[in-house]
């Protein structure tokens, strides 16, 4: 893996169903992995920052896991609601501040009532 890759690109999920999607990233020079939720016409909102292999984080119905050795993270949404409709971005952080974040293209999630 040379770049940050997210799959699927888009996803339609029925309200109430659970779903998950993937972020793959280069495992070398890893410092942290960020997940953002970006709703149309709003600012990207930070969901999680994950740094340690095996990290699991949870915020309400949303959770994420991290595997730094194989270079992937999963984001899970339990019992999807219409307000979960958004683009979910992951970004690899190589630390040091100046490099910025390297983003994937995002997963566009649409929750159908």
- Give the interface with other proteins as residue ranges (CB under 8 A): 4, 6, 31-32, 34, 36, 41-46, 49, 51, 89, 91, 93, 95-106
Distance CA 89, CA 108 (A): 9
Q: Nearer to other proteins by C-beta: 17 or 31?
A: 31
Distance CA 38, CA 81 (A): 15
Q: Is 56 helix (H, G, I), strand (E, B) or coil?
A: strand
* CA distances in angstroms from 85 to 39, 57, 94, 108, listed in the order given: 7, 20, 29, 8
Q: How far is the CB of 17 from other proteins (least distance, A)?
A: 26
Q: Nearer to other proteins by C-beta: 59 or 79?
A: 59
Q: How far is the CB of 32 from other proteins (least distance, A)?
A: 4
DSSP secondary structure letter of residue 78: S
Q: For 71, phi and psi rounded to 5 degrees?
A: 75, 55
Q: Nearer to other proteins by C-beta: 1 or 14?
A: 1
Q: How far is the CB of 59 from other proteins (least distance, A)?
A: 15
Q: Nearer to other proteins by C-beta: 43 or 113?
A: 43
Q: How far is the CB of 39 from other proteins (least distance, A)?
A: 10
């Amino acid at each position: 893996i040379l770049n940050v890759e997210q799959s699927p690109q888009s996803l339609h999920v029925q309200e109430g169903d659970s779903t998950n999607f993937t972020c793959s990233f280069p495992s070398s020079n890893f410092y942290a992995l960020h997940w953002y939720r970006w709703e149309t016409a709003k600012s990207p909102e930070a969901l999680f920052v994950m740094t340690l292999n095996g990290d699991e984080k949870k915020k309400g119905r949303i959770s994420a896991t991290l595997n730094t050795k194989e270079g992937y993270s999963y984001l899970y949404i339990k019992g999807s609601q219409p307000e979960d409709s958004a683009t979910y971005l992951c970004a690899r952080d190589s630390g040091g501040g100046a490099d910025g974040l390297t983003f994937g293209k995002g997963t566009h999630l649409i929750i159908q009532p």
